[in-house]
Amino acid sequence: MIQSIEVKDTVSDQRKKIHPHKFTLWVGLGSIIMMFAAFTSAYIVKRQQPGWTSFDLPVVFWYSSAVILISSVTMQFAVKSFKQREMRRYRQFISITAVCGLLFIGLQLIGFDQIWKSGITFRGAGGGQFLYIIAGLHAVHVLGGVITLLVLFFQAFNSKIRNYNSVPIEVASTYWHFVDALWIYLFIFFLWIH
């Protein structure tokens, strides 16, 4: 009887601990938050200098914001479906999320092309450098998320893989929600600060 209680306590203690992959992700996300806080703070300070050019965000950014929010919802449904071992639904939701991620990237490219064509470039005064550095860093993080989504997509349709470990999907989901929230922050920041 005593041995049974000890085993239950050990299992209970292990469930309370955070998985090493999740812990590493949270440390990384903290670093990313600090980096973007530094860049957006520098943007605020630098925009007070003479020669700073204001710009209006293209309408396409509203669409990309809607797409990335939808992708967060479908990602959450994918995680739920995977945990319930509803693989058909999981495949559908991870597919929709991956397509939304690719669509978001396409819409972002269109939006930043419009900003570039309006005269806000990387060269010279006017703040284009900060805009493109901040957007470029976000794009790199989104690209990492989309690559992860595509890996999950291909694994979902690979009949040889039968792994029901939810940790990789939970880590990918947390990261994807993070880059979604980061874009919404940047979108509001650029709407407010321009």
* Owner of token pair 């929230």: 181
Give residue-wise pLDDT tens across range 114-148.
Answer: 988 888 776 655 567 778 888 889 999 999 999 99
Average pLDDT over residues 18-32: 80
Positive or negative, the Cα torsion across 87, 158, 107, 138?
A: positive
pLDDT band at 152 (very low <50, low <70, confident <90, very high): confident
| Rounded Cα–Cα distance for residues 52 and 63 (Å) | 27
Which secondary structure element, helix H or strand E, spans residue 189, and what is its range?
A: helix 167-193
Identify the pLDDT of residue 176: 94
64's tokens: 């990309």
* CATH code of the domain made up of 59-194: 1.20.120.80
Average pLDDT over residues 1-13: 51
Q: Is 17 a residue whose pLDDT tops 90?
A: no
Residue count of the chain, please give it.
Answer: 194
User: In terms of Cα–Cα distance, which of 135, 119, 137, 134 is closest to 53?
Assistant: 119
Under 8 Å between Cβ of 97 and 181? no
Between 37-41, 68-72, 117-121, 176-180, the lowest mean confidence (pLDDT) is in 117-121
* Owner of token pair 């630098």: 46
User: In terms of Cα–Cα distance, which of 67, 57, 68, 50 is closest to 192?
Assistant: 57
Identify the pLDDT of residue 127: 65
Average pLDDT over residues 19-38: 83
Q: Alpha helices of 84-166 — where are they, by DSSP H?
A: 87-117, 128-156
Which DSSP state fits 168? Answer: H
- How buried is 130 (Cβ within 10 angstroms: 0-12 exposed, 13-18 middle, 19+ buried)? middle
Under 8 Å between Cβ of 168 and 81? no
Residue spans per domain, the chain = 59-194
pTM here?
0.79
Give residue-wise pLDDT tens across range 55-102.
Answer: 788 999 999 999 999 999 999 999 999 999 898 999 999 999 999 999
pLDDT band at 5 (very low <50, low <70, confident <90, very high): low
